[in-house]
Amino acid sequence: MGFFGMPRSFNKTLCHVIGDLSQIVNRYLLRDPGLSKMLAVTIDAFEESIPNLVSFASSPAGQSPWERVSNANVWRGSKETGEPDVAMETSLFPLLRNFLGHLATPSIMGQDFMNNYPEVLQDVWNLDYGLMYLIAGLPLWLPIPTLRRAARARERLNRQITELHRAMDIAEDGGDPGKEWRDLRDVGLVIKERHRVWRSHKIPPHLRADLPLLWAMNANAPSLTFWVILRILTNPSLVERIRAEIAPHVQVSQPHIGFGMTEPPRLKISMAGLRTGCPLLKSCYFETLRVDSAAWSVKRVVKDFVLTEDEKDARGGTKRSFALKTGEYINIPFGLHQSDPRYFHSPESFIGDRFLVQGADGKDEVDIGSLKPYGAGFAICKGRVFAEAEVLAFVASIIALWDFEPASAKGWEIPDHVKASGVALPKTDVRSTTTKNSLAMGKRKIGALEKVEADLSYREEFLLQYRHYESQRDIFMSSPSSATTVGLVSLRDLIDFLAHVAECYPALSSKFPEDLMRLLALHHSELEPELREKLVGSLVLLRKKEVIDSVVLLQTLFPILTTTQSKSLRTLLFQKILSDLRSSNAKTTNHRLNRTIQTVLFNLLTSDRSSSKGIWAVKLTRELWKRQIWTDSKAVEIMKEASLADNAKVAIGGVRFFLGGDKERQELDDESSDEDDGIDLGKLKHQTGVTKKTKKKAKTLNKAIAAVKRKERKKNQPHPLNFSAFHLLYDPQGLAESLFSKHLNRASSKLNLEQKLLVLQLVSRLVGLHKLTIISLYSYFLRYLTPRQPSVTSFLASLAQASHSLVPPDVLEPLIQKIANEFVSEAAAAEVASAGLNAIREICARQPLAMNGTLLQDLVMYRKSKDKGTVMAARGLLGLYREVGADMLRKRDRGKEATIGLKSGGRKEPRFGEVEGGEIEGLELLEEWKAEQRRKRREEKDELKDGLDEQEEEDEEDWGAWDVEEDDSDSSGGWINVDSEDEIEISDDDDKPPVKRARTREESLVNGVGGTGGKRDIMTSSLATTRILTPADLAKLQELKVQASVDKLMGNSKRQLKERDTDSPLTAADIESVAFLSAGKDKEARLAKAAAGRDGREDFKSKKAKKQEAKTSSTTNKQKARKKNFLMTLGKAKGKQKRSLVETRKALRGHLERQKRGGKRGNQG
């Protein structure tokens, strides 16, 4: 079994199960009743599928998989020349082989296996092509493409069979194998029995050797079928004899329905008759095995013996003997015997009746004599009986139903052989022309009829069928519940037929759509599922053919969707409605249809607010919003009405839309969008990755870049109507008040706590986003602000979202005080304290005036806590008030920048009701970059600021990038900018220019030089109001903003004040924040947790890591310095302290020179 991909150790395992597996093969492939069951399943598949061997479709989209691989071409003849109406030219071998493979594989492995792995047949063919190389044991590194393809196909097939067995294990244990394996009931009997044996012996799925069975069922039988049919077709008289012989056992019926058309022919195969009553066909089968196959077997000698030739084989009358030793192998090539003229007359010729003999009763029988087509001994083919019956049935069905003619004018040509493991393969292609055998085209003529413009010749037949339909419809309408099966089938077929051709006779079939709609509307609860599905499909087909419009279709289907109790019908109708709306709005927005459907949905919600029917309006609107089909305010108003419904399910559906609808739409857009945003990400990665590269840093960088790209794509979205649902509300104040009073502040509300929390999140987002005022909302929070409250972090997040700069501080101050009292105390758990501090910080970030100085000082002191989460939360609050309220902090807590700002008067404290004026986003980044560039140039030139004025420098660097030459004649005019902060001393000498007096360090600090106080604000304001930004400035500004975003996400920014988009929600996770850091505070617990994650990781180490561990090497000097005893480092530290000023300056100068060189080794970049 090694050449089928099984390890050598599997041979021992196979010894324990070979007996049980052989019994299964004997039971189902050699003896009845198991053999009859297997053949019955195969024959049913033949009877159903063989009429569809050739579809005569000219487009590959309409062809079957076996037709597409056979390079099919369709041509049409004419009656004048006697040619058939339509024929298809195909390659005969791939057509027959793939067709039989598509029948055999699902019958063995199940239809789900074929659906999940559509390329399985090609892998079987590739394995068969190279199996001889694998059996010979050739190494895979040899440059033989056939061998390598076979090895890869073998690996894929074993993996796919393993997945099937795993799914069967899960299903047998009562689990869900997944959506890929929906139905495992159609797996073949042999595989099911083998699976039972594998499980009983506890064989793992990857060692269950079912690949030989899959290969044997597909490798030889399809190829043999091709050779049998080709050999028969080369002899026209033989074709007629076989058709006459199989006629009683393969019956072809052609049901007529009038109208000049016929249904597809139907087959009825008698397997017993083919096996016993068709000797000529069986003789052709064995003759093909003799001519076109070369079976062989390998035997191992287990005991010494002497083999002597037979008299027939002896040459010159002298018989030879051969001594065979134990352990030797013997290859028995049966093909040599099959081509031996001493046993078979004219062995190179195909003689169809070669094996026919006359029996005792005078009838023909088959006697194969010394032919060994299946091998011999223990290695004889186990599936020979089943394969013989399968090939006979397939060949008989093909010859009875189809006509094959050679595509070449030379006639049929037998191709040369390509040696394979059993049946040979054709070396060259055989092209054939296929037509139906004296049978009409069936329903395929319907497609041709649809394209005929003048089809009046069929008017009477159409009227006949239409009257037949009306009679069947009246019979059904008189008693829908007692309709017979035959009547239902006839009515279903007539509806299907009329739906296809109704557009050809619009006047005669004008009432047909109305009949379907009335029948579906009145009796949808009583209809048979198949008839009901056919009615819906016919209406959709009429809509596609534009017999009816979308409004009529949707007005018919939607009321049924809201009233039916059938789950399958609801699913079908919802899919059809959604699909029709999508197709109607695919090219351009269909405003008329959208308005009609939106009105229906709106009326459905407002007519009865307590009904559960409104849930379909919610589902449909949410799906269309997610797919950006409906993006206007009317869709938002529908969901607003849904959120105010009395039915809890409908109301929560509307609330969830506002809380997650925009996120779903963005995620769907992110998945479908792959355009480049124009950002130089390569340069960005280089700038952020100059430090030591680690996997964690690379992962963080990738996330940061993805976030920046999403932000840029959202900002540059060209669609003018792609607004958030919150911004499309007509009256957000009214909606927030209605939600609060109806679902939250009413004692009779039917919502549970979880549902109320969702409504509260929606109300708080509306209040925070639109800066609404609902004073009673804040008192509602008081009862829930305790650590013992379930989902308390969600309540804290909602409270923070509901806070904004227009909320009176005296309203929020009691809430902050209660949070501080309940959550932030020495007795509270560390997680509780950090959550409380985070909540207070989020509230104060939106309304800083809600905090008083005394409470702030107490809360800031928690930065000295022993818990890391609490420390970080307290530092976050401290950093916030350093920015927005430094005067409330003690001087030592204010920080350098805040102290300078307060002293200079440049920092402006917030006041209630004050609204800041807007400015260009990120303009201060551009100003800082310009200042940094000027400083670098001055350092490089090592000269004082006596040259160009700052304003002239800026002009020169900005416009110089665009090659704009300045006219010298205009340089004499203009104004000179004088910095009012620099004091100018007037010299008494007229020849000397005024000299600027250098400012002292104290003056510089007060005026904000080197800080972020008033000087920076003045510079930004000056840059925004007195300068025209060039295209180079704008491009650099965009780059700096992207860099700042990445720095913030990467944690490189020194200022960690959190800025949140007004559209993005605040979640409980933001409140909990770093509370998880408190878990496992002791070192032993952390080490144990880390060690638990390392179990079993040794096997996944790279080869380089394993070699490095095995290699003995000393540590580096840097590693030794880290592990050096502390007392040994005191001497060097004391030596640094005793340096003189000259030594310190020398060391510093050397450090600066090494930096300019790029380090000690002079690395310049």
Distance CA 610, CA 618 (A): 14
Stretch (H or E) spanning 405: strand 402-406
Q: For residue 75, what are the contacts with CB-CB under 8 A and spacing of at least 6?
A: 86, 87, 88, 89
Taking the CA of residue 799 as centre, how many other CA atoms within 13 Å lie in the half-sphere pointing to its CB? 32
Contact 824, 838 (CB under 8 A): no
Burial level of 475, CB count in 10 A (0-12/13-18/19+)? middle
User: β-strands 296-300, 266-269: how paired?
Assistant: unpaired
Distance CA 203, CA 481 (A): 53
**3-state class (DSSP) for residue 933:** helix
For residue 300, the cross-strand partners are 329
Distance CA 823, CA 793 (A): 11
Comparing CA positions, the residue from 369, 377, 322 lying closest to residue 342 is: 369
| Helix intervals (H) in 502-545 | 512-523, 529-544
Q: Which amino acid is it at 1066?
A: L
Tokens representing 676?
Answer: 């480049």
Distance CA 1128, CA 1120 (A): 12
Distance CA 390, CA 675 (A): 54
Comparing CA positions, the residue from 609, 615, 602 lying closest to residue 561 is: 615
Q: Is 284 annotated as belonging to a binding site?
A: no
| Helix intervals (H) in 885-982 | 891-894, 896-904, 923-941, 950-960
Contact 1014, 1008 (CB under 8 A): yes
Number of residues assigned to the chain: 1165
Q: Across 51-145, where does the E strand assignment appear?
A: 73-76, 86-91
My answer on whether omega of the bond before 718 falls inside 30° of 0, hence cis, is no
Tokens 């209406």 found at? 539
Q: Which amino acid is it at 891?
A: K
Burial level of 845, CB count in 10 A (0-12/13-18/19+)? buried
Tokens 């809360």 found at? 859
| Helix intervals (H) in 173-257 | 189-200, 211-233, 236-246
Count each helix (H run) and each strand (E run) in the chain, helices first: 48, 16
Contact 207, 14 (CB under 8 A): no
**3-state class (DSSP) for residue 376:** coil
Contact 1005, 908 (CB under 8 A): no
> How far from chain centre, in Å, is Cα 772?
41
For residue 253, the cross-strand partners are 266
For residue 267, the cross-strand partners are 252
- Residue burial 621-633, b: 16+ Cβ < 10 Å; e: rest: bbbbbbbebbbbe
Angle, CA 277 vertex, CA 273 and CA 278 arms, to 5° = 105
Distance CA 609, CA 611 (A): 6
Burial level of 1102, CB count in 10 A (0-12/13-18/19+)? exposed
> How far from chain centre, in Å, is Cα 879?
43
User: β-strands 431-436, 417-418: how paired?
Assistant: unpaired
Annotated binding-site ranges: 381
Annotated binding-site ranges for heme: 381
